[in-house]
Amino acid sequence: MDIPARDALLDGLDLRASGKGLGAEIIGVDLRRIDDAAFEALHLAWLDHLVLLVRNQTLNDAELIAFSRRFGDLDLAPIQETGRRFVEGLPELYVVSNVMEKGEPIGSLGHGEAVWHTDMSYVEVPPKASLLFALETPAAGGNTSFVNMYAVYDALPDMLKRRIASLRVKHDGTYNSGGFVRQGVTPSEDPREAPGALHPLVYTHPETGRAALYLGRRRNAYIDGLELAESEALLNQLWDHVDQSGFVWTHAWRPGDLVIWDNRCTMHRRDAFDAATRRILHRTQVKGERRPA
Ligand code: OGA
Ligand code: MN
């Protein structure tokens, strides 16, 4: 698309950037009814800002799924920690919740911290986007933070960029970000043995052409071909750059918030919250494109 056409599309959006290096709020839209031009503008803004927030939405599950499909085909949600599907008949839907019904959690991740991660990077072709919609949120706590992994990559020292240029990292499939063991997995604490998928440490985003550091999650990660101690040291060094990154935007949820993140160039984490409060969010995940070997 040429620059004037792009600018004209983006002009139609009421957008407020967070000022934190990623993240923007889109104001005054009803996602159930946006037309193709408005969706295209939103999509462009999403590629630019990596994470979009749209507040005050009323989306039932079918509407959340229908809107999510505008980004592409959906992936099925991972199975719940209890081994169950979250919502019978809606396999695309992932539920994040601490709420218990009949002695069982209705969703995943509990009420504790969820550590930095990208969604489902332990599979060969991870989703390109996740859409998370808030139904019930506690008055305080449970904020979700996002980090810009293009910026983290750009800020690495040149020597480190050269060192990781052709390395691959295994993204662990044992634990989810809440620290719970995934359904059907026998946990192993040896990162070399743990199940997972190998991905290039430096990922070239297929739509923007920009390079991002692609770490997934820290626990049980392993850099293919290195001695374990060497892999641990290099991973710690890379994660230090994430922890020191200034490119973090934190979102405090209200019911009706939809947050859409680019899962290829961001990671996210969640703060803990009071177990006695209720937090329910519904998520979809959009299929990614096959990554270059
Ligand atoms: C997710 C996730 C964190 C949160 O839905 O992928 O990590 O804020 N959620 O609950
Ligand atoms: Mn997640």
What's the number of domains the chain is made of?
Answer: 1
Question: What is the distance in A from the centroid of ligand 2 to the CA of 132?
Answer: 9
The CATH number of the domain where 131 resides is what? 3.60.130.10
Give CA separation, 187 vs 80, 117, 173, 227, 285, in Å. 16, 18, 9, 21, 25
Q: Is residue 194 assigned to a domain?
A: yes
- In terms of residue numbers, what domain contains 146? 3-286
CB 267 within 8 A of CB 145: no
Cα 208 from Cα 190, distance rounded (Å): 36
Query: Which of the ligands is closest to the CA of residue 114?
Result: 1
Q: How many CB atoms lie within 10 A of CB 12?
A: 12
Q: Is residue 51 assigned to a domain?
A: yes
In sequence order, the 6+-apart residues with CB closer than 8 A to the CB of 236 are none
pLDDT in tens, the chain (293 residues): 888 888 888 888 999 999 999 999 999 999 999 999 999 999 999 999 999 999 999 999 999 999 999 999 999 998 887 887 888 889 999 999 999 999 999 999 999 999 999 999 999 999 999 999 999 999 999 999 999 999 999 999 999 999 999 999 999 989 888 888 888 888 888 999 999 999 999 999 999 999 999 999 999 999 999 999 999 999 999 999 999 999 999 999 999 999 999 999 999 999 999 999 999 999 999 999 876 54
Provide, rounded to the nearest whole percent, the portion of the chain with pLDDT above 90.
Answer: 83
Q: Is residue 292 assigned to a domain?
A: no
Q: For position 292, what pLDDT does the model report?
A: 53
Indicate the pTM of the whole model: 0.96
Query: Which of the ligands is closest to the CA of residue 98?
Result: 1
Ligand 1 atom at shortest distance from the alpha carbon of 109: 10
Q: Is residue 293 assigned to a domain?
A: no
Cα 272 from Cα 178, distance rounded (Å): 10
Instruction: Read off the tokens for 25.
Output: 């709020």
CB 118 within 8 A of CB 267: yes
Q: For position 4, what pLDDT does the model report?
A: 85
Q: Is residue 186 assigned to a domain?
A: yes
Instruction: Read off the tokens for 169.
Output: 């990292």
Query: Measuring from each residue's beta carbon to the nearest atom of ligand 1, which residues come in under 6 Å?
Result: 96, 109, 114, 119, 130, 132, 144, 177, 268, 270, 281, 283
Cα 288 from Cα 262, distance rounded (Å): 10
Helix 3-11 and helix 36-49, axial crossing angle in degrees, nearest 10: 100
Which pairing describes strands 211-213 and 266-270: parallel, antiparallel, or unpaired? unpaired
Q: For position 293, what pLDDT does the model report?
A: 47
Q: How many CB atoms lie within 10 A of CB 158?
A: 7
Q: Is 227 exposed, middle or buried (0-12, 13-18, 19+ CB in 10 A)?
A: exposed
Give CA separation, 10 vs 21, 43, 46, in Å. 19, 10, 11
Ligand 1 atom at shortest distance from the alpha carbon of 143: 8
Q: Is residue 128 assigned to a domain?
A: yes
Question: What is the distance in A from the centroid of ligand 1 to the CA of 130?
Answer: 9
Ligand 1 atom at shortest distance from the alpha carbon of 281: 10
